[in-house]
Structure 1
Amino acid sequence: MVPLPVQPSVTVILLDIEGTTTPITFVKDILFPYIHDNVEEYLQKHWHEEECQEDVRQLRLQAEKDCGLHGFVPIPDVTENEAELQQVIQGVVDNVHWQMSQDRKTTALKQLQGHMWRCAYATGQVKGEVYEDVQPALRKWRGAGMKLYIYSSGSVEAQKLLFGYSIEGDLLEFFHGHFDTAVGSKVQSESYRRIADSIGCSTGNIFFLTDVTKEAQAAKEAGMHVALVVRSGNAAVTDEEKSRYPLITSFGQLTLPSAQ
């Protein structure tokens, strides 16, 4: 592996998740299918809990907004009649399946998914996947005094579940904080300036690792140091992109100033 020296000004390492710390297939092949296959069982088990009822209320409000969309699936009103209650639950299941088939990212859907994943992680039905070079690198970077943060399109809660219940154990101890798209789009440079302000440092003190060139470009425009992470299954990197960004295939390639 070709070493990639980290500039002496860097005190913070900011990490993307999908394609960077975690295989892209984890979300596509594990997390989303879990929701699709288990939403009915989850609703049956947790229906009378306040959190579940709030999830359903939010999904119903979203359904009211979606009523004009092609293939729209309504959610019947709540009832205590057992036969009708099953129709309501089935309506929620069908609505969730429809939203997922349309790749919807509604707040209501993400809220239910987050609660389902929390249960799945806590019961051991799901474990967060990370590449084998991730845990050793996190330990090395923290030991060298680096501050570590995550910036992902997935919610902060989803991030904490993935790393808190990872195949390598609880990795949350290595991170100083988490950012999601509440701070802004990952392809807009202003988002990276906001992250630096939140951390309390200059963008020039941050090294951002991602597999997405548009994210790397936005971070670079904001003044951050960047590198593209090339993993199996990630989008191919063009020759032009190779000329614009440093590439790594493993976190182990980063050489910290103290080790140079």
Structure 2
Amino acid sequence: MTAHPLPTWTARVVVLDIEGTTSAAGFVQGDLYDYARPRLRPWIESHADDPAIADAVVAIRAEGGLAETADLDAVLAVLHGWMDSDVKATPLKTIQGQIWAAGFAAGELSSHFFDDVVPRLREWHGRGVRLAVFSSGSVASQVPWFRHADAGDLTPMIDAYFDTVSAGSKREAGSYEKIASALGVPAGEALFLTDLPAELDAARAAGWQVIGVRREGEPNYAADFGDHTVVDSFAEIHVEPEADVRAEDVAEDRA
């Protein structure tokens, strides 16, 4: 993608998008959606007393333009429509996340990562760079996604997970300000990787460092990334922690 070597990025934390960035969007919109779709009705019915599901159903009626008393058939019609259009609706992500988590736990699902991703995550983690996730998918689905990778359990490398419930919209600068605060790092020492230009804009507006990930065959490959730095592989990204973080690691090693 780049005609010359990229610089080394200095950051305390790298925050990762998932779909289209670390993992193929087609896997999520294909295998995972196909798994969730027939399970929506029985899951909602059997978890009616779960506050998260109850709140999601209320939100679906409101966001889907339904009456407050709309029945489950109408709710499911909204959910199916959102899935068909790949709408990043928080209540849909909440329900899907629970269904997927159960599927991962049962061994019926496994996650997907591009070949260049896991080696880089291990390298950055080994250098003392913290790793976190910010995805439109619920935290309930993010954790098993990293736990059930072909390369093994990746969760020991991940410090924190954020979704649109815990942090807010991925297209608003305030969400990134909230994440930086939660992680306890200055905005300028956080680096965000995503395939969506609007998310890059929002993170940069919050003072973050950003890199666009443009992968051939992914939905946003032809997107306009403007003046953002863009790569087509994590292998192009070189990250080092802040100098004082490296010093702390050396001190710990000598102790």
Give the structure-2-normalised TM-score: 0.78
**Rg: which structure is higher?**
1
Structure 1 segments (4+ residues) deviating >6 Å: none
Equivalent residue in structure 2 for 1:116, among 67, 78, 99? 99
**Per-residue displacement from partner, 1:199-232 (whole Å, max 9, x unpaired)?**
1111110111111111111111211111110112
Task: Give distance in 2, aligned partners of 1:230 and 1:165.
Answer: 25
Matching residue of 1:36: 37
Matching residue of 2:219: 234
Residues 213 and 228 of structure 1 are in contact (CA less than 8 Å); yes or no, is this contact kept in structure 2?
A: yes
Matching residue of 2:245: none
Q: CA deviation at 1:113?
A: 2.4
Of 109-118 and 27-36, more deviation after overlay is shown by 109-118
Matching residue of 1:136: 119
Residues 63 and 74 of structure 1 are in contact (CA less than 8 Å); yes or no, is this contact kept in structure 2?
A: no
Q: Report the aligned-residue RMSD.
A: 3.0
Residues 93 and 137 of structure 2 are in contact (CA less than 8 Å); yes or no, is this contact kept in structure 1?
A: no
Give the structure-1-normalised TM-score: 0.76
Matching residue of 2:150: 167
Uncovered stretches (5+) of structure 2, i.e. residues with no partner:
242-255
Task: Give distance in 1, aligned partners of 2:207 and 2:62.
Answer: 40
Of 30-39 and 98-107, more deviation after overlay is shown by 98-107
Structure 2 counterparts to residues 23-172 of structure 1, below 5 A: 23-39=24-40, 43=43, 51=47, 53-54=49-50, 69=66, 74-75=71-72, 95-103=75-83, 105=89, 107=91, 109-172=92-155
Matching residue of 1:6: 8
Matching residue of 1:219: 203
Task: Give distance in 1, aligned partners of 2:240 and 2:49.
Answer: 52
**Per-residue displacement from partner, 1:108-149 (whole Å, max 9, x unpaired)?**
x44432222122111221111111111101100001110111
- Please state whether the residue corresponding to 2:151 is helix, strand or coil: coil
Task: Give distance in 2, aligned partners of 1:18 and 1:123.
Answer: 22
Question: What code does the residue aligned with 1:204 have?
Answer: G
Residues 18 and 135 of structure 2 are in contact (CA less than 8 Å); yes or no, is this contact kept in structure 1?
A: yes
> Against the structure 1 CA distance between its residues 225 and 102, is the aligned structure 2 distance closer, same or farther, given a 3 Å change threshold?
closer
Q: CA deviation at 1:106?
A: 5.7
> How many residues are aligned here?
231
Task: Give distance in 1, aligned partners of 2:93 and 2:64.
Answer: 19
